[in-house]
Structure 1
Amino acid sequence: MSNSHLKRLFLLKGLASRLALGLVAMLTTIAIQLYYPKALSHFIDNIDAAMASGWLSDYAVVMLVLLTLQAGAAALRYYLFESAGLLVVAKVRTLLHQSLLCQPIAFFDQHNVGEMTNRLNADTEVLHDTLTMGLAISLRSLCICIGGLIMLLSISPMLCLGLLFFIPTSMFLGRWLGQRIRLRSQAIQDCQADCGRVAHENFANARLVHAFNQWPLAQQHYQQATDKALQTSLSCTGFLAMFNGLASFLMFMALLFTLWLGGSLISQGMLTVGELTSFVIYAAMVASSAEAVSGFWSDWMRTLGATDRIFSIIDDSSVPAKVSQTPLCLQGHIVIEHLSFSYPQRPQNLALSNFNLTIQPGEKIALVGPSGAGKSTLANLLLGFYQPNSGRILLDGQPLTALNLADVRSQMAIVEQEPSLFWGSLYDNIAFAVPGGRPSQAEVEAAARQANAHDFILNFPDGYHTMVGDRGVQLSGGQKQRIAIARALLRNPRILILDEATSALDGESENLVQDALERLMAERTTIMIAHRFSTIAKADKVVVVDQGTLLEFGSHQELRRTSSFYQRLLQNQHSERQVSLCS
Structure 2
Amino acid sequence: MAPATESRALLGGNAETTYANDRELADPLSSTDDDLERGLLRGAKTGARVSFRSLFQLAKQDASTLALGVLSLFVRLPFSVSMPHWMSAAIGGAMDGDRGRFEYNWYAFLIAGACNGLLDFWNVYLFSIAQTSIVRRLRRRAFSATLKKRMAWFDARTSGATASTLSNDCSQVGANLSWLFRSCIEAVVRVVGVGGYLLWVKFELGLLALTVVPVTATINYFYGTVMSENAKRVQDTLGKSNEVVQEALSNIRTVRSFAHEKSERGRFKHAVDAWYAESLRSAQLSGVYYTINYSLLTACFVPATILYVGSGYVLRGEMHAEVLVAAMLYSAILQEYFGNLLSSFTNLFAARGAAEELFKILDGGNGEEEDDAQTGDKLLESSIMGEIAFENVSFAYPTRPNIRVLSGVSFVVKPSEIVGIVGRSGSGKSTLFSLLQRFYGDYSGKITLDGNNIETLKKRWLRRKCFALVGQEPVLFNGSILFNIAYASSGTIDRERAMQCAKIALIHDVIENELGGYETPVGERGCQLSGGQKQRVAIARALYSEPKVLLLDEPTSALDAEAETIVTAALRSAAKNRTTLVISHVPVDSFVDRTIELSSHSNP
Same fold (TM over 0.5): yes
Partner of 2:529: 475
| Residues 364, 528 of structure 1: 8 Å contact kept | yes
**What is the TM-score normalised by the length of structure 1?**
0.89
- 1:378/1:87 Cα in 2 relative to 1: closer, same or farther (>3 Å)? same
Which of 591, 598, 604 pairs up with 1:538?
591
Displacement after TM superposition at 1:214 (Å)? 1.8
Partner of 1:423: 478
Displacement after TM superposition at 1:294 (Å)? 1.4
Displacement after TM superposition at 1:342 (Å)? 0.8
Which of 40, 59, 63 pairs up with 1:12?
59
Partner of 2:435: 381
Find the residue that maps to 1:536 and give its secondary structure: coil
Find the residue that maps to 1:42 and give its secondary structure: helix
Amino acid at match of 2:198: L
Amino acid at match of 2:455: T
- 1:114/1:176 Cα in 2 relative to 1: closer, same or farther (>3 Å)? same
In the alignment, the residues of structure 2 paired with residue 399 and residue 461 of structure 1 have an alpha-carbon distance, to the nearest angstrom, of: 44
Find the residue that maps to 1:464 and give its secondary structure: coil
Kindly indicate whether structure 1 or structure 2 has the higher relative contact order, using CA contacts under 8 Å at least 6 residues apart: 2
- 1:188/1:18 Cα in 2 relative to 1: closer, same or farther (>3 Å)? same
Output aligned runs, 1:92-171, within 5 Å.
92-171=138-217
In the alignment, the residues of structure 2 paired with residue 479 and residue 521 of structure 1 have an alpha-carbon distance, to the nearest angstrom, of: 18
Partner of 2:338: 290
Partner of 1:239: 285
Partner of 2:355: 307
Displacement after TM superposition at 1:315 (Å)? 2.3
The alignment covers a number of residue pairs equal to: 546
Deviations 1:291-330 (A, max 9, x none): 1111222222112111210122112256852599976433
Displacement after TM superposition at 1:279 (Å)? 1.1
Partner of 2:131: 85
Amino acid at match of 1:539: V
Find the residue that maps to 2:192 and give its secondary structure: helix
Matched, 1:414 2:484: no
Displacement after TM superposition at 1:238 (Å)? 0.6
In the alignment, the residues of structure 2 paired with residue 318 and residue 244 of structure 1 have an alpha-carbon distance, to the nearest angstrom, of: 47
Displacement after TM superposition at 1:368 (Å)? 0.8
Find the residue that maps to 2:403 and give its secondary structure: coil
**What is the TM-score normalised by the length of structure 2?**
0.86
Matched, 1:221 2:258: no
Find the residue that maps to 2:404 and give its secondary structure: coil
Find the residue that maps to 1:331 and give its secondary structure: coil
Find the residue that maps to 1:414 and give its secondary structure: strand
Displacement after TM superposition at 1:105 (Å)? 1.7
In the alignment, the residues of structure 1 paired with residue 283 and residue 550 of structure 2 have an alpha-carbon distance, to the nearest angstrom, of: 56
Amino acid at match of 2:76: T
Find the residue that maps to 1:421 and give its secondary structure: coil
Matched, 1:548 2:601: yes
| Residues 323, 406 of structure 1: 8 Å contact kept | no
Displacement after TM superposition at 1:50 (Å)? 7.2
Partner of 2:314: 266
Amino acid at match of 2:399: Q
Find the residue that maps to 2:525 and give its secondary structure: helix
In the alignment, the residues of structure 1 paired with residue 202 and residue 380 of structure 2 have an alpha-carbon distance, to the nearest angstrom, of: 80
| Residues 18, 84 of structure 1: 8 Å contact kept | yes
Partner of 1:577: none
Displacement after TM superposition at 1:117 (Å)? 1.7
| Residues 30, 144 of structure 1: 8 Å contact kept | yes
Displacement after TM superposition at 1:490 (Å)? 1.5
Partner of 1:66: 112
In structure 1, runs of 5+ residues without a counterpart are 550-583
The answer to which structure has the higher helix fraction is 1
Displacement after TM superposition at 1:418 (Å)? 0.8
Displacement after TM superposition at 1:267 (Å)? 3.1
Deviations 1:59-99 (A, max 9, x none): 44443332221111101111110121111111111112222
| Residues 387, 413 of structure 2: 8 Å contact kept | yes
| Residues 460, 466 of structure 1: 8 Å contact kept | no
In the alignment, the residues of structure 1 paired with residue 202 and residue 109 of structure 2 have an alpha-carbon distance, to the nearest angstrom, of: 25
In the alignment, the residues of structure 2 paired with residue 449 and residue 376 of structure 1 have an alpha-carbon distance, to the nearest angstrom, of: 28
Matched, 1:175 2:230: no
Amino acid at match of 1:31: P
Which of 508, 513, 521 pairs up with 2:562?
508
| Residues 328, 407 of structure 1: 8 Å contact kept | no
Identity %: 29
